[in-house]
Structure 1
Amino acid sequence: MLAVLLVLLVVVLIAGRWQYEGSLVTIMLTAITGLLILGGAAAVLLAAALLRAYWLAGAALVLCAVQVLWLAGSYLRAGEQPVPAGATTIRILSANLLLDNTRIAEQIGVFRESGADLLSLQEVTPEHLAVLMDGGLPSVYPYSVADPLPGFHGSAIFSKRPLADARAFDVSGFPMTTATVTVAGTAVRVVDVHVVAPLSVESVDRWRNQLADLAGMRPDGANRAAVLIGDYNATPDHAALQAMTAAGWRDAATEAGNGFALTYPAKGFPGTPLLRIDHAMVSEPLTVVSARTRDNPGSDHRMLDVVLSVPTAS
């Protein structure tokens, strides 16, 4: 029985690395492949050791080691970086507020105390926005663009710095917000991302198309600094997200050596998130200083807290 389970885990490993994402089932399988293999192999290892089936324990140990090495190579990179000489930092906090969150007033306190220069908020309803505005958020973040909507796809960007070209725009049939903030003379475009969740057959194509559109947003020319930050509803194991790095985007958490900064669900099992579906994708010439997560009162996501350095414009 244990041998059959180990064979099944190897099959899952191969299927997950194949990254066929043409259906809801395969998308979900890819999202949990790493956890499934590592947990399953560890269970087989323990059971085989107790039963003194040492050859099977050895095989399970090899599978565990392969998975750990793959995860470390894919999720952990250089680590947090010092701010380069002559650069200025910008701190961006991304938070999925949750559609039916009743603790928005508490989140205002988190935003105030975070030290963030800019907030990228998802699932912003008209009711959420009213609480944020009435609760004094504009006194700390006087510049904003908001597109509050019933349902899951309202959003807002709040900033301590003036915003330019601040607007809502369409990404494969769903709205997102964007704005440009100037840091040390460098224009940095920020896109508040919320990709549709691939939870139905109909939404799979929309999910894939939105991620492809985001991959194609990498700017060229003099104004090339950009950050696409928010809820991607995709893990680093998904081919659709990996296509973004292939297009030149850099995953802030992975680059900061914190690729296991899990964000969803905020209170998973056993009490910790299980997946990383919130990301900050950055372009040159930005440098990732740090990428961490924060508590997010009342939400099913943890906040993503990213510090970037921006070179002074010549």
Structure 2
Amino acid sequence: MRRLIRLCAIALGWTIVILAAGLLTARQFGVTQITLVAFLVGIPFAALPTALATALFAGARSRVGFVTALALTLILAGIQVPQFVAEGRTANGPEITVMTINAAHGEADADAIVDQVRTSGADILAVQELTGAQVEALTSAGIDELLPYNSTEPRPVADGSGLWSRTPLTDATTLSGFEFAQVQANTTVDGVDLTVVSFHAMSPATPRHTVQWAEDLARMRGLMDSYPGTVIVAGDFNATSDHRQFRDLASDGFVDSADVAGSGLYRTFPSQRPLARLDHVVTSDTVDATEVGPVAIPDSDHLAVTARLQLPAA
């Protein structure tokens, strides 16, 4: 009986190890296989089953299994640690607050959005899944009194997007090559030139959409490289830092503001029981983030994100 229990423990331990190693390998590559893309959201939790495997191997006195599972546990835990460590501040320019919200097909509570803009002192608001009715609701709620300049591309269901700003927006455009509207504009804050985008990547919900999702992230990154001045891309990326496609976007000159602020593993989707941080404020790496976190907005399936940023000097 003891031998059977030992064999079962070893078998379960190796099953966990193989699955975890597969996920870790997939994390390193830009996979577009829909199941793997979905499972990668669970990477922050993967150290728990590998810790269980470590205990199983210890009880079964399997040295190879124990060392393998322990190493995987340390790796899986270690890749999350940098998200808790704030980077040193180097920017000494003006401070601004950016807020982004997926408006859930235009159903998000407009009064709550405007109240949060007021409470946070947001200087820029990026809205995804913006409909014509949502624009009217935000206007009625008083958004123009707080952020008088805007560029919007409202569309039915999930396709629309928009920007509101405390400072004038110029050269506003809707980016081509995306299925969803991506609104981009320029503004200047105390002499610092900004390129701002309200971004919404395709949701990787079907095999075709998963390919489109990867293409959206790659195309957005290419555009970011071409923009002048300091860049801020805020929105629903439908990706976490455990997706290689997002890490490629927020690297080599760009950063996820939450990582810069050391904000940890907060999550934004689904709003009632968040499992994944899909919503981000990505900036040029010359921008510091002092505080980044989620905010609940009634009737949205995403939590909003507000980011307090310090820009480089003009």
User: Shorter chain as normaliser: what TM range?
Assistant: 0.7 to 0.9
- Structure 2: segments with no counterpart, 5+ residues: 1-7
Residue deviations 1:164-198, cap 9 Å, x none?
11222224343210111101212100111100001
SS of the aligned residue for 1:68 comes to helix
Counterpart residue number, 2:186: 180
SS of the aligned residue for 2:97 comes to strand
Deviation at 1:312, TM superposition (A): 3.1
* CA pair 283-171 structure 1, distance change in 2 beyond 3 A: farther
CA distance in 1, matches of 2:80, 2:286: 27
Matched, 1:23 2:24: no
Counterpart residue number, 1:12: 19
Counterpart residue number, 2:237: 232
Counterpart residue number, 1:108: 114
Counterpart residue number, 1:206: 212
Moved more, 11-20 or 225-234: 11-20
* CA pair 206-164 structure 1, distance change in 2 beyond 3 A: same
SS of the aligned residue for 1:108 comes to helix
Residue deviations 1:103-150, cap 9 Å, x none?
333322222222111101111111111111112111111100111111
Give the counterpart letter for 1:233 in structure 2: N
- Structure 1: segments with no counterpart, 5+ residues: none
Counterpart residue number, 1:118: 124
CA distance in 2, matches of 1:249, 1:141: 26
Give the counterpart letter for 2:222 in structure 1: G
Counterpart residue number, 2:94: 88
Deviation at 1:252, TM superposition (A): 1.0
Counterpart residue number, 1:278: 279
CA distance in 2, matches of 1:93, 1:142: 15
Counterpart residue number, 1:39: 48
Give the one of 68, 71, 75 matched to 2:80: 71
Q: Is the 8 A contact 2:17 2:53 kept in 1?
A: no
TM-score, reference length from structure 2: 0.86
SS of the aligned residue for 2:216 comes to helix
Q: Is the 8 A contact 1:218 1:224 kept in 2?
A: no
CA distance in 2, matches of 1:181, 1:45: 53
Matched, 1:244 2:244: no
SS of the aligned residue for 1:78 comes to coil
Q: Is the 8 A contact 1:219 1:226 kept in 2?
A: no
Query: Percentage identity across aligned positions?
Result: 24
Give the counterpart letter for 1:235 in structure 2: T
SS of the aligned residue for 1:226 comes to strand
SS of the aligned residue for 1:174 comes to coil
Map of 1:136-155 to 2, 5 A cutoff? 136-155=142-161
Give the one of 258, 263, 267 matched to 1:258: 263
* CA pair 127-285 structure 1, distance change in 2 beyond 3 A: same
CA distance in 2, matches of 1:66, 1:201: 30
Counterpart residue number, 2:294: 293
Q: Give the paired residue count.
A: 301
Deviation at 1:91, TM superposition (A): 0.7
Give the alignment's Cα RMSD to 1 decimal.
2.5
CA distance in 1, matches of 2:208, 2:200: 17
Residue deviations 1:22-63, cap 9 Å, x none?
31112112222332x2332355567x59xx927479666664
CA distance in 2, matches of 1:112, 1:78: 27
CA distance in 2, matches of 1:263, 1:124: 18
SS of the aligned residue for 2:224 comes to coil
* CA pair 181-23 structure 1, distance change in 2 beyond 3 A: same
Residue deviations 1:68-94, cap 9 Å, x none?
222214x33434x55744x11111001
Give the counterpart letter for 1:166 in structure 2: A
CA distance in 1, matches of 2:48, 2:181: 38
Q: Is the 8 A contact 2:33 2:207 kept in 1?
A: yes
